[in-house]
Structure 1
Amino acid sequence: MSDQSPITDPYAYLNIVKNKDGSITRDLTNFPCASATPDPSPLNPVVSKDITVNHSKSTWLRLYVPTATVNDGVSSQKLPLVVYYHGGGFVLCSVDFQVFHDFCSTMSRDLNAIVISPSYRLAPEHRLPAAYDDGIEALDWIGKSDDEWIRSHADFSNVFLMGTSSGGNLAYAVGLRSADSVSDLSPLQIRGLILHHPFFGGEERCGSEIRLVNDRILPPVITDVFWDLCLPVGVGRDHEYSNPTVGGGSENLEKIGVLKWKVMVIGGEEDPMIDRQRDLAELMKKKGVEVTESTGGDVHGADIYDPSKRETLFASVRDFISSSSSAL
């Protein structure tokens, strides 16, 4: 059992207040934001810019491209495209938070890849499947975009969906939908999913949730609040959005296997959700999906908040992308 002190007020811990109309008030003072960096100077290894996706939904994306690639102009050698969804329990955070901006910039540089991080509407104002809908819409937008950086440098035949925490859940859900409508995403061709500390749950506590009940980062009492705020009204944590091992949410896994997409599941031994992540990996294997599992000794989202851990992470992701691309 964890020897950490239990959290007695999860709403205070998250700096949110639940309002009578069902919305929440978020205090984001602990989350500094970062502006895009479009200047392709030698001092800036990665350039980035913001682009609107859907005005009516206020959704947008941040695009990251290695500066050397932009400065080289149009090249016949296009780069892998990683579509990355940020975390935050479907309730908090944004694409432009400093930690996600730095993470994506480093990823673009270290992988020598185009990284696109789409925003999505947050719960409880927009409960699931709103984020999934936005995730798919962003893919459709990318495939049809006339943005010069995307058209000149992104390899649409070599696309990977990636996400951290709730973003990992989102990447998984978008992957399932994409497998069911591959032709609709043309010209994008997905080659794999990269689920980084993916956020899943269930009504009954799993072993790692019991062992880490008082985890200092994301204990079950906090994930309970996230699920309460983001799941459709009236459903429990064994809904397919939360628990992919129950219900009818896994049919399209067989299609992922047939399409020969590869999946990488990255977890941490000190993450209360590690057992759920392993259960999902086993389910995917049973459905014929080729799964690579990577497990370290870290807490949930450690690579996001500790830059020193990213080199090892991105080295393993780079190898995964390379092995998946070689199967083209």
Structure 2
Amino acid sequence: MASETEPDAVVFEAPAHFRIYKSGKMDRLHRPPCLPAGVDEATGVASKDVVIDAGTGLSVRLYLPKIQEPSKKLPVLVFFHGGGFLIESADSSTYHNYVNPLAAAAGVVVVSVDYRLAPEHPLPAAYDDSWAGLLWAASAQDGWLAEHGDVSRLFLAGDSAGGNIVHDMLLRAAASNGGPRIEGALLLHPWFGGSTVLEGEPPAAAALTGMIWCYACPGASGGADDPRINPLAPGAPALEKLACERMLVAAGQTDGLAARDRAYYDAVAASPWRGTATWVESEGEGHVFFLEKPECEKAKQLMDRVVEFISAGSPA
């Protein structure tokens, strides 16, 4: 720790996102406004917050689209936000303004998990919270889920670190006895890394991933080759164990993570996994562009692909 007379040195700064000091503390520079739950005027989607673990403070935000047919049950989508495990939240404007139109367009009940953040709560806290949120959603304890949700049609989705969480959830579901059946998984610009730079991967992107990972998960074995951040590392759980029937992996062509995302997709598709995988690449777009400019044509196209993926398994 820095002394009272010695300034705490900055060891890393992601401009407009966060600043990390030698002492281990962090300044969150990216603080979008938190929006209250309620009825979204643009989409008619209703939302509410539910605390599911008073001990940890774990909560979820539920989204219910306009009910067109009261007798029809809707698929349930569990969503995990991004932010490098360090920033963002389920109630931030970034994600509230993305999930509302997602719930409306796809016709799904969404459970957006507000997991705890590092460094105050180092990993695996976010994974453990996300698993608790998934199990809670699958149990349909809430009235909205019980009345309107079809938990036999369960989907997982997440962007960046949230996409990484989706991968971890699929492995946990496979390893658990009687875990929830997951129909589909959407990994949107998932955050993966590794100590060896891949072809087409900017070395700076690989180094940045490794640095953030070790900060968020200081106890990680293998550093950037911990299987949770590098699912292709030697000794990582076999991809054939992924507990979903269908998968969509999306990347932005100019994203520094695109090479990792493609390598993950290729490995899943080439594995003995018995599901079907789909690759979606947005030409000329960077990391999570669909959150930053949701009205652009490429973001609308990606939303269409997400909706198409979810509706593909709907009964006729």
The interval holding the TM-score normalised by the smaller chain is: 0.7 to 0.9
Q: Which amino acid aligns with 1:273?
A: L
Q: Does 1:262 align with 2:246?
A: yes
Q: Does 1:87 align with 2:82?
A: yes
1:226 pairs with one of 212, 216, 223: 212
Number of matched pairs = 300
CA RMSD of aligned residues (A): 2.4
2:121 pairs with one of 122, 126, 129: 126
CA deviations over 1:3-53 (Å, ceiling 9, x no partner): xxxxx9742623334363x34332344x222111148xx765111010012
Q: Which amino acid aligns with 1:239?
A: D
**Matched residue of 2:202: which SS?**
helix
CA deviations over 1:168-224 (Å, ceiling 9, x no partner): 000111111112226133xxx31011000000001122233328x4xxxxx445434
**1:55-134 superposed matches below 5 A:** 55-68=54-67, 75-134=70-129
Aligned twin of 1:207: 199
Structure 1, unpaired ranges of 5+: 1-7, 214-218
Q: For the Cα contact (< 8 Å) 2:220–2:226, is it kept in 1?
A: no
CA distance in 2, matches of 1:118, 1:89: 15
2:291 pairs with one of 262, 281, 304: 304
Structure 2, unpaired ranges of 5+: 1-9
Aligned twin of 1:243: 230
2:302 pairs with one of 313, 323, 328: 313
Aligned twin of 1:292: 278
CA deviations over 1:131-176 (Å, ceiling 9, x no partner): 1111111111123343211111111110111100000000111111
Shift of 1:226: 1.6
Aligned twin of 1:49: 48
Moved over 6 A (4+): none
CA distance in 1, matches of 2:92, 2:42: 22
The TM-score with structure 2 as length reference comes to 0.87
Q: For the Cα contact (< 8 Å) 1:10–1:221, is it kept in 2?
A: no
The TM-score with structure 1 as length reference comes to 0.84
Q: Work out the percentage of aligned pairs sharing the same amino acid.
A: 33
Tell me which moved more, 141-150 or 311-320. Answer: 141-150
Higher RCO (CA 8 Å, separation ≥ 6 residues): 1
Q: 1:326 to 1:230 in 2, by over 3 A?
A: farther
Q: For the Cα contact (< 8 Å) 1:200–1:277, is it kept in 2?
A: yes
